[in-house]
Structure 1
Amino acid sequence: MNKRMKSFATMLAAVTMMTTALAACSGGGNNQPAATNAGGNNSGNNNAAVTETPKEEVKLADGNITVLYHTSLEQYAENKAANPDAYDPLLESIPVFEQQHGGKVTLIAVPWGDQKSTLISMVNAGEQVDVAQAHDQNFPVYPLKKMVQPISQYVDLNDPFWNNAVTNAFTFGGEAYAVGVGAAPIVMYYNKTLFDNNGVQTPGELFAEGNWTWDTFRQIAMEMTQDTDGDGVNDQYGFGWWDGGYALMVGSNGKTILSYNEDGSISANHTSDNVKEAMQFTQDALLKDKYIDKDKEGDYFVAEFKNGKLAMTAEYGLNGFNAFKGDYEIDFVPVPKGPRGEDGVGPGGLSGWSIPVVSKNPEGAAAFIKLLSENEKEVATAKNVETFGQERVDRINELAQNILFAPIGVEMYWDANGAVLGGIKDGTPVGTFAETAKGILEEGINITLTQ
């Protein structure tokens, strides 16, 4: 699978809360701070536990809506047959919505990568679409091309039910175009057994002391990098993840690669001090401190973590307990805080829901979005508490409120990202490739804004 698509598919799985059905493929990062787009705005699963609050009775004049989505009912039935624990809140909400409102939900299912082009075609043709998914790769194109409408007309953005991070991330030109509750913070998983066996202080202990920073992360990562078989070559490493964890460090240092400004402009932040520090830290980890195996990438680190040869890695939310299941005791902490970062704020992924401009029933769309979001949160929370315990769910949900995330759906984003990663691994001075990457992305931004 294409690395970019794989990474976002991993995040989406976490965000849409297919809960225990997730055998998460660890990390292909999106490379971007928010899930690998180091950056962004925020997001979260919201409350740590299900609270029984009376459901608001919505009386709709029209219960007929059309939904654009990436999974058909037939595909979902096959998924459920293969894994009875699979749960898709949108698809499960369809019969409930129809029963409540007496209408018909028409589902238009297209492959994940075809959602953007399909919505654009349908809007241009004036065809009805009432609900469309908002994610990192179709924004800011949707609001720029006027595919979706400001959602505050139909949804109370001050309702504490909604995750403010999701709302903020999908705000463009001062208008919010999506709401949701789905968020997956990226966290640092560590092999507690391996740390204990080596007599090294664990990330959990450092975090409990209030001393979990880039500096302490670097220190213990170097201590855990060892030649355990005496052949003169390190075979145990302190850390490993996609792209050396560059996206994690950007997200934990208080900045996003892209900024969406109230005047509708978009800024590339490669030359900001926050981002340059993250670039330098990652380059040092690979080439100077050498606690990451610079010759390896991606899924290799999953295998090494499970084999007890990697002390720390990363994963979306609670998925690490599935992805890294093995004979060792593992746990997680937030990504360590950078010198310009804030406590509890870091990288992750999120997803929301928009109402297209061709909606013929926006009130029905808003009611459906609320219903599926309620199901998403309640089922996910109940399943996760049952599987992982309340304490871990509380920790994840707290982090989920403050995810840094910026949509990356601008032209030439990946070209700019490639320039960064190439410079990091080649040892090019940070200032040089930061300027190069910024220039590439600014060209892409201009194309995106004017096409």
Structure 2
Amino acid sequence: MKKRLSLSIFLVLILLMAVSVSAEEVKWDLGGQTIRIQTRWEDVTPLGERGAHNWYQPDERLLAHIKSVEEMFNCKIEFVARGHEGDAWAAIQEGSLLGETTVHFAHFSAGMVVPATAGALHPLNDILDDEFYESYPIMFQYPRLSGDSVGSTIYGFEALGHSREARVIMWNKSLFEREGIESLYDIYERGEWTWDKFYEIARALTKDTDGDGEYDQYGLGALGVKEVYDFLVSNGARFTQIREDGRVEFDLLRPEFLETMEFLQKIWSEGLVGDGISSNRSRAAMWLDIGTHISNPGRQAEFYAIQNDEWGIIPPPQGPNGKGEVNMHTRWVGVIPNTVEDPRAVIEVVSALFQTREPYIDKEEWEAKWWDRHLWALYDYESFEYLQEAMRNSVLVPDHVETRVLVVHAEPKAEAVFDQIIKQGASAASVLAEWEPVLQGYLDEMLKQ
């Protein structure tokens, strides 16, 4: 019988907090102005689990929350342009053509680059200060210039508080024990969780268990583009650098990048990766994944239907140039169109509406409630501690600008280039030397630099 983590060890159940400041304490009086909000996260609200409520179709409880924020700021709140980033951008452009503000706030991910480079968003460097960033719960105090910027100009801010998607190693504790392999927790605590140790363990756990001459148990479950990003971060690598004059340049031939490609080429060539086994978690000892996926209802069968095995969570192993960083799957940020007269006031309205930061929340109570959604799925306290650590140390690589180039524009795309190096055995230095100027050309055109 599997023993999942008991929430009572860490916290008591907390009732939903009301907005923790009164209308009298708020210094932004918007004089009855209508604030128009666009989001693709229509079912993420501060009132409960995702899907429990909908901003575009609010029930009585959500309407009461919206009204309380309207009274706090003396404004009206309207949700508009229901849809994804493209819909948000279309609505922003419509406002520009009409000479009015049709959207005051929108959520963007990698698509933020398009309105930012078109000059359609407010730069926030001089609007948001240290005190603002420190008002968030610790897990949402992101490093600046990590998914919120184009070059060194910040356009985005945390405005959702839903998930910091740190990618971690999920390891089959039961399989390790059956195979006589030491716990990764003990290895990590000794400071020995390195690429070399990862390779040693992956080598030991990759086996032909049924004697047919083919591996059917693997050290690592998959090695696609996301996993490549994860290993790059674990070796301190970055795709670009920002020069003193502000120019952004791809820098793929730095030692950390080449080392990563060569290491991944090695583990692939030795058959230590079960690529192509999809979500069959029983056939691999370790997987790279978003840490909070372990509590995702749609992912339960992957973790809880495997021979009653127990799973643990730990940050990825560090390469020779690692800085203790963990990769972040993606990041959604809030942006303010440049037609908005008082961007900071809108930021405050959104912060109160989504309840993301002080003074609109109590940070300790907020974090306890947030973890309540995930702790039930963890098997041990170490997973809780290491998932927290991974979130605190997560960075977005590639960032939104780089992702836009790599995924939308570049030919060949990242997947084909990485496969050529890692799976086909091509020289990393040669392939990347050819690819880098192609990427730079798209980047220069995008940033007009």
Query: Quick check: TM above 0.5?
Result: yes
Q: Which piece of structure 1 moves more, 274-283 or 108-117?
A: 108-117
Q: Give the match for residue 353 of structure 1.
A: 334
Q: CA deviation at 1:144?
A: 2.0
The correspondence for 2:171, drawn from 190, 208, 222, is: 190
Q: Which piece of structure 1 moves more, 154-163 or 248-257?
A: 154-163
Superposed CA offset, 1:271-293 (max 9, x none): 12111111111111112x21013
Aligned identity (percent) is: 21
The correspondence for 2:83, drawn from 90, 106, 111, is: 111
User: Whole-Å Cα distance in 2 between the matches of residues 318 and 76 of structure 1?
Assistant: 16
Are the structure 2 counterparts of residues 173 and 329 from structure 1 closer, same or farther at C-alpha, using a change threshold of 3 Å? closer
The correspondence for 1:280, drawn from 239, 259, 262, is: 262
Q: Give the match for residue 61 of structure 1.
A: 29
Kept in 2: contact 1:171–1:178 (CA 8 A): yes
- Where structure 2 has 5 or more consecutive residues not aligned to the other structure, the ranges are 1-15, 57-61
User: Whole-Å Cα distance in 2 between the matches of residues 95 and 390 of structure 1?
Assistant: 40
Do residues 124 (structure 1) and 96 (structure 2) align? yes
The correspondence for 1:440, drawn from 435, 438, 443, is: 438
Q: CA deviation at 1:232?
A: 0.7
User: Whole-Å Cα distance in 2 between the matches of residues 61 and 53 of structure 1?
Assistant: 17
Superposed CA offset, 1:329-359 (max 9, x none): 0011101111111125444432221211022
Q: Give the match for residue 384 of structure 1.
A: 374
Kept in 2: contact 1:64–1:364 (CA 8 A): no
Q: Give the match for residue 400 of structure 1.
A: 391
User: Whole-Å Cα distance in 1 between the matches of residues 177 and 108 of structure 2?
Assistant: 43
Task: In structure 2, give the amino acid aligned to 1:179.
Answer: F
Q: Give the match for residue 310 of structure 2.
A: 329
Kept in 2: contact 1:154–1:366 (CA 8 A): no
User: Whole-Å Cα distance in 1 between the matches of residues 193 and 343 of structure 2?
Assistant: 46
Superposed CA offset, 1:112-148 (max 9, x none): 252464255235323422112242x124333322121
The secondary structure found in structure 1 opposite 2:26 is coil
Are the structure 2 counterparts of residues 264 and 120 from structure 1 closer, same or farther at C-alpha, using a change threshold of 3 Å? farther
The correspondence for 1:146, drawn from 114, 119, 122, is: 119
Are the structure 2 counterparts of residues 176 and 89 from structure 1 closer, same or farther at C-alpha, using a change threshold of 3 Å? farther
User: Whole-Å Cα distance in 1 between the matches of residues 320 and 52 of structure 2?
Assistant: 40
The correspondence for 1:315, drawn from 273, 281, 289, is: 289
Across the aligned residues of Structure 1 and Structure 2, the Cα RMSD in angstroms comes to 3.3
Q: CA deviation at 1:96?
A: 4.1
Q: Give the match for residue 40 of structure 2.
A: 70
Task: In structure 1, give the amino acid aligned to 2:390.
Answer: L
Are the structure 2 counterparts of residues 139 and 273 from structure 1 closer, same or farther at C-alpha, using a change threshold of 3 Å? farther
Do residues 269 (structure 1) and 269 (structure 2) align? no
User: Whole-Å Cα distance in 1 between the matches of residues 95 and 439 of structure 2?
Assistant: 28
The correspondence for 2:272, drawn from 283, 291, 308, is: 291
Are the structure 2 counterparts of residues 152 and 390 from structure 1 closer, same or farther at C-alpha, using a change threshold of 3 Å? farther
Q: Which piece of structure 1 moves more, 85-94 or 146-155?
A: 85-94
Q: Write the mapping of 1:159-174 to structure 2, written as runs, cut at 5 A.
A: 159=132, 160-162=134-136, 163-165=140-142, 167-169=144-146, 170-174=148-152
Kept in 1: contact 2:315–2:386 (CA 8 A): no
User: Whole-Å Cα distance in 1 between the matches of residues 81 and 243 of structure 2?
Assistant: 33
Are the structure 2 counterparts of residues 443 and 153 from structure 1 closer, same or farther at C-alpha, using a change threshold of 3 Å? closer
Q: Give the match for residue 228 of structure 2.
A: 246
Do residues 218 (structure 1) and 208 (structure 2) align? no
Q: Give the match for residue 415 of structure 1.
A: 412
Task: In structure 1, give the amino acid aligned to 2:217.
Answer: Q
Are the structure 2 counterparts of residues 393 and 147 from structure 1 closer, same or farther at C-alpha, using a change threshold of 3 Å? farther
Q: CA deviation at 1:325?
A: 2.5
Superposed CA offset, 1:288-332 (max 9, x none): x210134x1xxx4322x1xx2110102112212443331210011
Do residues 301 (structure 1) and 278 (structure 2) align? yes
Q: Give the match for residue 32 of structure 1.
A: none
Kept in 1: contact 2:36–2:78 (CA 8 A): yes
Kept in 1: contact 2:34–2:76 (CA 8 A): yes
User: Whole-Å Cα distance in 2 between the matches of residues 290 and 213 of structure 1?
Assistant: 19
Task: In structure 1, give the amino acid aligned to 2:195.
Answer: W
Q: Give the match for residue 428 of structure 2.
A: 430
The secondary structure found in structure 1 opposite 2:210 is coil
User: Whole-Å Cα distance in 1 between the matches of residues 70 and 386 of structure 2?
Assistant: 36
TM-score when normalising by structure 2: 0.76
Kept in 2: contact 1:255–1:404 (CA 8 A): no
Are the structure 2 counterparts of residues 108 and 447 from structure 1 closer, same or farther at C-alpha, using a change threshold of 3 Å? same
TM-score when normalising by structure 1: 0.75
Are the structure 2 counterparts of residues 89 and 263 from structure 1 closer, same or farther at C-alpha, using a change threshold of 3 Å? farther
Q: Give the match for residue 447 of structure 2.
A: 449
Kept in 1: contact 2:26–2:72 (CA 8 A): no
- Tell me the matched-pair count: 387
Q: Give the match for residue 156 of structure 2.
A: 178
Q: Write the mapping of 1:75-114 to structure 2, written as runs, cut at 5 A.
A: 86=51, 94-114=66-86
From the CA coordinates, give the structure whose radius of gyration is larger. Answer: 2
- Where structure 1 has 5 or more consecutive residues not aligned to the other structure, the ranges are 1-49
